[in-house]
Amino acid sequence: MDNYQKQPLKLYIQDIFRAKRTDENKYVYEIFNIKFKNIMIHGVITSMYNTTHKSTNFEISDPTGCVQVYYDTTKNNTNISDGTIKDLVKSFAVISRSGDDNAPTMASLLNSIENKYKNPIDFEEGANVTVIGDIFVDDLKNIRMVSAYQCRTTTVERDIVWLEELRYLYDKYYLRNITI
């Protein structure tokens, strides 16, 4: 199972549905003669549903199509434990009492970390996002979806850059891998 690309493969959404599942592993897919497990997609959230404090389902759309995404924030590898947050707050209290010149910078960083900790799903319908995850097939509906382990809010400008990056990758790398 080690013969696939380890980094997420940047794809248009349409290619999630065009990729073929490999015979040796149902979690490894192939497109453009490239075997991969993880993907990176970018687009606009067109709808959100089944949202709780820790997870959500949403639909993401790019110029080539749309796909359903399931995002569970507890499976995010940047997730911070309760103990770590308590340690950060305690450490900051000690630093701020000592009169350290870096206290305002540390306060800003701690505030950012706490906001993400308290509100891990910090996006909404209409937001531009980058999603990293795995393709999976919903057995009940028999459709392909993405199980996300990282979702980041971006901007419209980043969307334009993303489309240019993909055009370059397809022209210079992906499409050249195809043997006719």
pLDDT averaged over every residue in the chain: 87
Total-model pTM? 0.80
Whether 180 has a pLDDT exceeding 60, the answer reads no
Kindly indicate the confidence band of residue 155, based on its pLDDT and cuts at 50, 70 and 90.
very high
Tell me what pLDDT residue 92 has: 77
Q: What share of the chain has pLDDT > 90, as a percent?
A: 50
Q: What confidence tens digit (pLDDT) does each residue in 56-102 have? A: 999 999 999 999 999 988 887 666 777 887 888 888 788 778 878 87
Whether 29 has a pLDDT exceeding 80, the answer reads yes
Whether 126 has a pLDDT exceeding 80, the answer reads yes
3-state secondary structure the chain: CCCCECCCEECCCHHHHHCEECCCCCCCEEECCEEECEEEEEEEEEEEECCCCCEEEEEEEECCEEEEEEEEHHHCCCCCCHHHHHHHHHHHHHHHHHCCCCHHHHHHHHHHHHHHHHCCCCCCCCCEEEEEEEEEEECCCCEEEEEEEEEEECCHHHHHHHHHHHHHHHHHHHHHHCCC
Kindly indicate the confidence band of residue 4, based on its pLDDT and cuts at 50, 70 and 90.
confident
Kindly indicate the confidence band of residue 2, based on its pLDDT and cuts at 50, 70 and 90.
low
Give per-residue burial for 58-79: e unless 16+ CB within 10 Å, then b: bbbebebeebbbbbebeebeee
Kindly indicate the confidence band of residue 30, based on its pLDDT and cuts at 50, 70 and 90.
very high
How are beta strands 34-36 and 29-31 bridged, if at all? antiparallel
